[in-house]
Structure 1
Amino acid sequence: MTLLLLSFSFSEAFAKCNSNAIGYRNESGFGLSFGGGSSSAGFYDKNTVNVPVSINGEQACFKKVNAFKMKSEKKKDKAEENSIVITPMKTEFEKIPSAHQKQYIFVEKNPHKLLTKFHVMSFICSGELPLSIEATSDTVLKINMQPDSADVRVSHVFATGAAAENLNKGNKGKTSNAETFDFFSKLYMEKSQKELAADQVCCNDFKIPSIISDTSIHAFSGVERAIASSFTTMASNVPNGCSNAFAETMKNYQLENYEANDSLKDYKVKKKWFSDDLVFEW
């Protein structure tokens, strides 16, 4: 199977999966309220992305929507209550064979509650081949107190190899998603007692358009640059969350298996009525 990630025009809004244009839309907000001795703070971030794909010369596409909400509330004469709402990624596929998604979560507990860190990694897959990766690692404190700079806004990965290296030149320092990849790679090796095998290294078989691989990020502007800035270089320690071996070893950390996730045993996790949203409270 030959797979190409295509470079088309960029559009900020779209209604359904579109095989002719990359689409990206972000919605975010932050709110504070005070009164009667009580206070609350909240942060919300939602990303919608459409990516065209070529498979054996035939146009295809996928669309994904995910959201992350944080709320901290302190009532008069009561301890502070915190909650994080994670909306499982919603996906739409057109002409992509064996299309599915995988999402992994691990909560790294800290005696200081606000230093508790959420690691989340999501994959869109065609069989065992990753088409897109999202990853973030952030503490409750950073999400709660610095919403404008928090790395909770995940990175969308559309390219690897030379293209990603070119696009990543302006990105200095260790990013939040790199930390997430490192964390889940180490966790996998602990659980499996194996090193990351060659067939588990993400995305080595990707074919990328020359218009991207021969272009520096500095050649982009406006919304094109905003999207290109989120391309990430894939390194050997990036786990392939689409592979059967990784998914089986890490099945208890898949988002839908939250009841079996040992990192969540000290948290109250519930699913909202009439919704797939998961609410984490402590």
Structure 2
Amino acid sequence: MRALITGKDGQVGTHLVKLLSTQEDVILLALNSHELDITNESLVKKHIADFKPDIIFNAAAYTAVDKAESDIELAYQVNAKGPQYLAEAATHIGAAILHISTDYVFNGDKDGAYTECDLTEPQGVYGQSKLAGEAAVAKACDRHILLRTAWVFDENGNNFVKTMLRLGATRDALSIVGDQFGGPTYAGDIAIALIKIAKRITQGDVVEYGVYHYSGLPHVSWHEFAEVIFNMTVEQNIIAKKPSLTSITTDQYPTPAKRPHNSRLSTDKITDAFSVEASDWKAALNNIQSYTG
């Protein structure tokens, strides 16, 4: 498999590189935003034409949810136009593109988990730009997988787990939003899922292209997620005592961008199609020491 990864330094990109670079049957080209600006159409098409990948993993994205409300043009350039250029170049050489999207394409008002068939209605610029990217990829390349995920974390990136550990080390009490619900998702599990799909494609298996959801179980609130994080931190002797956690409402913690109250994603489709199980996010926290660096 000839694989090209964009956004190699991000949470998912880092794990894709780590996993694929050790596989003898993979020829890998991994690039960060300095090495390939995906909003530069001519550069995108040149890199892809020269390398001729079988699979393009697009892990590049503009993810500053609140900043996107004022940085609209750049959000759309990175999240919509860039993926479009990648998908067009993929079509030109007959490659498949695996593109990461988000729960923010939904309004968050549904009861229960969102399926791939549910109507999209993003509430902010970030979600709107990601939905535009989905549409652009689907239009430009028939051989596409759009993987929506949520609440991504790992040992290295800027994420909720790292934030909780940093704040918990210096504060005795924290207020955490308790009326937003979703499935925390370990970035390494997302990478494993994408690679499994990519191998099915490159092996010539019959694959149903389109939209898939992938996130973690069990579903929890941010407050419940924080409780688990700190319980594990105490159990593993990282801190002596966990801070007092108070559950607050979204209205009590206003942000420039509206967050979905419900980010639960059903993973039934990806499990049925590719035997990919939901992310076991609690298992991903078993070595919580690795998140404290």
- Which structure has more relative contact order (CA 8 Å, sep 6+)? It is 2
Q: Going by fraction, where is helix more abundant, 1 or 2?
A: 2
Which has the larger share of strand?
A: 1
TM-score range, shorter-chain basis? under 0.3
Normalised to the residue count of structure 2, the TM-score between the two structures is: 0.23
Q: TM (normalized to structure 1)? A: 0.23
